[in-house]
Structure 1
Amino acid sequence: MVLRSLLSLLSPGGARGRLSILIYHRVLPAPDPLLPGEPDAARFQWQMQLLARHFNPLPLAEAVRRLRDGTLPPRAACVTFDDGYADNAEVALPLLRSVGVPATFFIAVGYLNGGRMFNDTLIETVRRLPEGEVDLTPEGLGRRRVASDSDRIALCKALIGQFKYQPPAVRNRGVEALPERLGITVPDDLMMTSGQLRGLADAGMEIGGHTLTHPILARQSAPEARQEIEAGREALEGMLGQRVRLFAYPNGRPGTDYAPEHVDMVRDCGFEAAVSTAAGAAGPASDPYQLPRFTPWDRTPGRFALRLARNLAGRA
């Protein structure tokens, strides 16, 4: 009761309503030492139970309309997922349905049906490295020791940092060459199939655009960025047979990963709202095309609840 009262003070609803939007990428079947920031099924389950008990979870499109109209309920919250991982359908969906929490899934549609995002290629390559020393001189990292999980985590971060902001064509060539050079086979079932995507929509979940191939829009030319935004939406609408109204900026940091011109592109393409990865809660004055979100990293219910409250207070 104390928590609910505090949350109601911070998010009273109506004309002073505030909207908490949570961002996830994956929900793992079990903890993964190389993905310490991603919740497993057990953690995600209690997070959703807490959200259902203390908040009013809404579909994002409805929440955006009610935020605009001044009719948000107290303690309004939305759950979102980025990228389109298969575990969203296999692990997260049953847990969401079990507690009655809706969610919005932003899909980088070019990776469906056997595709793989560059960071996952790197992580899965590092996962399969034998213990010892690996020569990453062609990747600009010299010779690196691989003996422990912490070594592998550090190596994943270094490789991702090395490739992340390269031009997509250059990055893709370099990333795909790495496992081939090291004689490593990486999985091709990390992302959803189109059938799993339709299953999410059939279950009443919202589907949003996340471009075609997840480029950093600020590193693209204007025509390239517009093509990514439009082509991603068109591909999703073709698969689903329904309009796609919501968008998430890849990486999502305002001024770094996307610029005002990309906000205009998203609006011009007919999307009704878009989300960033800037932390905070949305209020009546928030730009509906740059709604803030935050990632719930916490591993205990108490800390999770505290972070939700601090986010509403602007202190996450």
Structure 2
Amino acid sequence: MSNFRQLAIDLRRVVSTPCRQLQLRRLSAKGKAPISVLFYHRVADEQPNDWTIPCDLFQEQMEWIRERFDVIDMQEVQRRIRQQDSRRPAVHITFDDGYAENCRFALPYLIRNKMPCTYFVSYGNCVTGDPFPHDVAAGCPLPVNSLDELKALAGTSVEIGYHTRTHCDCGNLITADDFRDEITDGAAEMRAALDMPLRYFAFPYGLPDNIPIAGIQAAYAAGFQGFCSAYGAYNLPGQDAFHIRRIHGDAEMSRFKNWLSFDARKLHQRPEIRYWLPPANNWEQTQELVG
């Protein structure tokens, strides 16, 4: 992003700060303060690419968050949405894929500072050790987490989530067997291999075209308590809590701060994800749900 563009975003945010703060105070008083769920992929200083953020910038972002927001876990995200009880703007941190370098700095930092995180992992890559196809295609295969590294996170502020078996685009899956293998069966195998619960699922790529109704229903059938998209949207109290909307942990601080400072214009830009779930379990009603 050009320096001019960054300056324009920063200027707009600064000028609108009094209005934004007034909006947040009013929403907070009603229990409707927005909840931002961030997603990252890889925190490292070597072999940077479009889905890598440097360690010092990640730490700067986390410290900025800690000073201004409630940092909460995924269950608390859903509780605030369902009960319309969000009295202060909040943030939850997530990661996708399962890059080994995250165990060097990012995850220890979050654990040390008691910042809850959901860490979504593509199971098959952790079993085989094979790099992700998108890294291979980019000519830069990168190491992935092992099952032992994931097991070592048990009991910390990092919760393991599921990210399909092969990091597939679920929008390209066709048959019921495809969805069963990538989501339902793969999740069962990963739970058994790690001997820990997997409560949340994140769709690879995370745009509306990557999130078919059959995939959402497969995640529901697999016993997940919620699924995550990744197209950039706030979570607002009173919305569907089975669908967790996420915002990119942007490497440009101007965009990062603009999103988290609550840019109400973004509310009019989000797409809808419509789906229906079969008979209710303990956390959702039987109805058509609108993302």
Evaluate the alpha carbon distance shift between residue 11 and residue 222 of structure 1 in structure 2; reply closer, same or farther with a 3 A threshold: farther
Is residue 71 of structure 1 aligned with residue 23 of structure 2? no
SS at match of 1:52: helix
Is residue 23 of structure 1 aligned with residue 39 of structure 2? yes
What CA distance in whole angstroms lies between the structure 1 residues aligned with 2:255 and 2:79? 30
TM-score, with structure 1 as normaliser = 0.71
What CA distance in whole angstroms lies between the structure 2 residues aligned with 1:13 and 1:32? 45
Amino acid of the structure 1 residue aligned with 2:75 = A
Q: How many residues align?
A: 249
What CA distance in whole angstroms lies between the structure 1 residues aligned with 2:22 and 2:68? 10
Is residue 295 of structure 1 aligned with residue 224 of structure 2? no
What CA distance in whole angstroms lies between the structure 1 residues aligned with 2:155 and 2:201? 19
The corresponding residue for 1:158 is none
User: Offset at 1:79?
Assistant: 0.5
Evaluate the alpha carbon distance shift between residue 116 and residue 51 of structure 1 in structure 2; reply closer, same or farther with a 3 A threshold: same
Trace 1:273-288 onto structure 2 (pairs within 5 A).
Answer: 273-288=226-241
1:115 to 122, 130, 136: 130
User: Offset at 1:284?
Assistant: 2.7
Deviations 1:186-231 (Å, cap 9, x if unpaired)?
56xx100111111223323111111111111121122211221112
Alignment RMSD: 2.5
SS at match of 1:79: strand
The corresponding residue for 2:176 is 222
Amino acid of the structure 2 residue aligned with 1:27 = V
What CA distance in whole angstroms lies between the structure 1 residues aligned with 2:100 and 2:22? 36
Amino acid of the structure 2 residue aligned with 1:211 = T
Evaluate the alpha carbon distance shift between residue 116 and residue 9 of structure 1 in structure 2; reply closer, same or farther with a 3 A threshold: same
Amino acid of the structure 1 residue aligned with 2:197 = R
User: Offset at 1:13?
Assistant: 6.9
What CA distance in whole angstroms lies between the structure 1 residues aligned with 2:152 and 2:263? 32
TM-score, with structure 2 as normaliser = 0.77
Trace 1:213-292 onto structure 2 (pairs within 5 A).
Answer: 213-220=166-173, 221-254=175-208, 256-292=209-245
Residue segments in structure 2 that go unaligned for 5+ positions in a row: 1-16, 270-291
Trace 1:207-218 onto structure 2 (pairs within 5 A).
Answer: 207-218=160-171
**Are the counterparts in 1 of residues 39 and 246 from structure 2 also a CA contact under 8 Å?**
yes
User: Offset at 1:5?
Assistant: 4.0
Residue segments in structure 1 that go unaligned for 5+ positions in a row: 128-185
Stretch moving more, 8-17 or 266-275 = 8-17
Deviations 1:110-157 (Å, cap 9, x if unpaired)?
00152211111122x3x5xxxxxxxxxxxxxxxxxxxxxxxxxxxxxx
